A and B are shown apart, each in its own frame.
Chain A
Amino acid sequence: MVDRSAGPAGSREWETLSRQYWDAVQQWQQAAASAAPAGAPPWQQGLATWSQLFGDAGAQGALGERLLGAVKAYLEQTQALLAAGGAGPEAIAAQLGRFMHAGFDATGGALGEGGIAEALRKLGADGARGFEQLAAGLAPVFGTLSAEARAAFDRPAFGFLRERQEHQQRVAQALIDYQTQTRRYDALMMRAGQLGAVRFQDKLAERAASERPVESLRALYDLWVDAAEEGYAEVAASMEFREAYGALVNAQMRLRSLLREDVERISVDLGIPTRSEVDSIGRRLQELRRELRGSRDAGGRSLAAEVESLRAEVAALKAGGAVPAPARAKTAKTERASPAPRARGAKKASAPKPRRPAKKAAGGFEARVAQFARTAQPAAPRARKAARPTDKKR
């Protein structure tokens, strides 16, 4: 057992043990390719060495990479936490804060250094390249500009290139705003790290008080994760984070949008269709589809109503009663289908033909109704042939 309160002596013992670890890794790998580096090498170096030799995950390459990344971070963190344990809670807190901020690299950089901004920046949407180039090229310049120099972006533009100048001023302002919001977000992530450290100390104190010491690396790590998540959740649920998060996303969208305007202007000059034009076509097409479907559905409903009305008439005729008034407004077709009144004294009326049997007359009428009914079916969609292959992901 190492006495962590022993100060420098304890540290020396740590170094010895770490070297033993390295030796064991070397032995286990049975690879004499590389010699152990001087000093006390971090544990994850052993992992890095063997993963280069054996870390091929075949078809599961992406998972293999995530796995190695996570375990590397785990080893780094547990070793550092364990070593810091000898120097007291403050050292643990400092270590934890470091991991919470920079150590989110183990999460693929998900939260460190801009977090959401970084995730958005990596998107492959149009304008991304221009965005990256501009952000990388101009960030150091704008980052160091004095307030007075920045105020120049507000000065009125004039002359032949006035619009272009105003646009560039807006881009510059948007970039500065984006950088400001990124720093604000990073500061909150830093605070999440500090809060996580406090939570971790609380948890350790609780373990000490309840005489349930942490006895394994994994248990130490799990406790750290709990603390880190608690610290993060507290910040992420705050109103300040909500505002900073929204402001950062909005700032990047403004910048992207302005850069897209640049790209589109150049595209127009070169005769290349722009994103706005494609969007416009897509929008009109979708509106047309809606109109077409709406007309078709309305037509179907109208026919269905007509058929319903005719059926009611047939039923009434069969029953020998008066023809009921249609429940809904008659359409032009139903009006045409009704027997047309004839002028009194007309030629045909003077020479009446023998009446057909009612049944036959009704049957002919029914046939017409059935014809309508057949044409009034589109409301229920037909199943298309299922021969088409399933849509694949891009």
Chain B
Amino acid sequence: MEPIKIDPAKALDEALNLQRKLAEGFRTLREVDDVDFGVTDKEAVYREDKLVVYRFKGDRKPTAKRPILIVYALVNRPYMVDLQDDRSLVRNLLALGEDVYLIDWGYPDGADRWLDLDDYINGYIDRSVDAVAAHAGVDRVNLLGICQGGAFSLCYAALHPEKVRNLITMVTPVDFHTPDNLLSHWTRQLDVDLFVDTLGNVPADLMNWCYLTLKPVRLFQQKYVGLVDILDDKTELENFLRMEKWIFDSPDQAGEAFREFIRDFFQGNKLLRGGLTIGGRPVDLRMIDHPILNIFAEQDHLVPPAASRALDGATGSEDYTQLAFKGGHIGIYVSGRAQREVPPTIHDWLAARP
């Protein structure tokens, strides 16, 4: 049997229809203004340099006694957790009675070139934790680290265990040397000292390029061909635009922190293997004896699930729970399934550990 059985007349129709839809879609595209994001009201409770710690305001007062502080990655903007009304981890947590704070790192520039991991973890995060604890009137906070922010949260909990009550990690790499980790694979032969000494801060465009080339044909081309199918739906188009905006709205990376993260995490895998020091202090995952909830995505192409699963047994915690989410690195925040599954899991887990 012939593998291709396309009726040429239908093929022509298909090609013409695609162009018709595209032409009509451009009309919709012209009608769409710049999309908004970060939908939940918030107030700034702490500022330092370019960092701002926000507290989100729900429709009702929080019932949880202890706040959650979200530590997002440096490589993307944190509003992915509060993208839009019906796709917001933050909004759903607030609705369940949680008290949610978030660190917004801002956009590093030349003045931040020499910030290292000590500055980020023992400096910014530590002072943010203090600020949140003081604001909420508690001695310890619940830490929710996402992606690279999850790795930072693990380091923080190991270095400052007395300030953390519960630790939640989402799509967090722990083992950076799993065979399916392409990003790690590509950085292993990189002379990161030469790289940072030459570039200084690492440009966001370059970071984006690396992520997109993990699946180049799909991400550079196929997704836009697929976009034609939803071009006539303004709401769907706006959803797409929000996501698109988030993907390309990336901060530059402070040079020194990037150097240390690539050298010690991606190349040395020291978070798991040991030997990691931050600010001259050893980071030992076994020092983490807090309850841990580890959530990862089964179809994650950026942080493979195996990289996150490695947390199981690597810490000193005797209260470890994990949730394997059916979705990808982004879907874990924005998919319909995520809205139904992730916030209640976090809330119930925390409620059992006041």
Contacts and interface: CB of A to CB of B under 8 A. Distances in A.
A257 B197 contact: yes
B29 A236 contact: no
Contacts of B228: 67, 71
Given A24-B12, A58-B30, A123-B203, A381 B198 contact: no
B141 to A, nearest CB: 13
A70 B26 contact: no
A70 B135 contact: no
A106 B190 CA distance: 27
Interface in B21-58: 22-23, 25-26, 29-34, 43-48, 50, 52
Contacts of A232: 216-217
A256 interface: yes
A119 B29 contact: no
Contacts of B34: 59
A48 B314 CA distance: 56
Contact of B29 (A57, A108, A120, A256): A57
Interface residues of B, number: 92
B114 A283 contact: yes
B340 interface: no
Given A56-B30, A290-B119, A110 B213 contact: yes
Interface in A179-193: none
Interface stretch (A137-145, A341-349, A358-366, A383-391): A383-391
Interface in A198-221: 204-205, 207-209, 211, 213-218, 220-221
Nearest to B215: A229
Contacts of A122: 205
Contact of A125 (B134, B179, B190, B200): B200
Contacts of B341: none
A242 interface: yes
Given A123-B199, A237-B185, A220 B6 contact: yes
B23 A50 contact: yes
Interface string B186-220: 11111100110111100101100100110111101
A242 B134 contact: no
A111 B213 CA distance: 8
A380 B130 contact: yes
Interface stretch (B60-68, B102-110, B148-156): B102-110
A63 B215 contact: no
Interface in A122-178: 122-125
A48 B9 CA distance: 22
Contact of B26 (A14, A24, A55, A278): A55
A282 B334 CA distance: 39
A1 B8 contact: yes
Interface stretch (A247-255, A320-328, A330-338, A368-376): A247-255
Interface string A215-249: 11110111001001100110011000111011101
Given A60-B32, A71-B228, A237 B15 contact: no
A249 B33 CA distance: 39
A55 B27 CA distance: 9
Contacts of A54: 23, 26
Contacts of A283: 113-114
A78 interface: yes
Interface in B217-266: 217-218, 220-225, 227-228, 241, 244, 249, 251
A73 B4 contact: no
B123 interface: yes
Contacts of B348: none
A47 B19 contact: yes
B8 A107 contact: no
B18 interface: yes
A2 interface: yes
B354 interface: no
A384 B46 contact: yes
Given A58-B32, A290-B119, A386-B47, 17 more contacts: A69-B224, A104-B220, A108-B220, A120-B206, A208-B1, A208-B2, A215-B5, A215-B7, A217-B6, A236-B182, A241-B186, A242-B185, A246-B188, A250-B194, A282-B113, A388-B47, A391-B106
* Ranked 9 nearest A-B pairs via Cβ: A246-B189, A107-B220, A70-B224, A386-B44, A213-B5, A58-B30, A204-B3, A286-B114, A208-B3
6 contacts: A63-B244, A70-B227, A253-B195, A286-B114, A384-B46, A391-B50
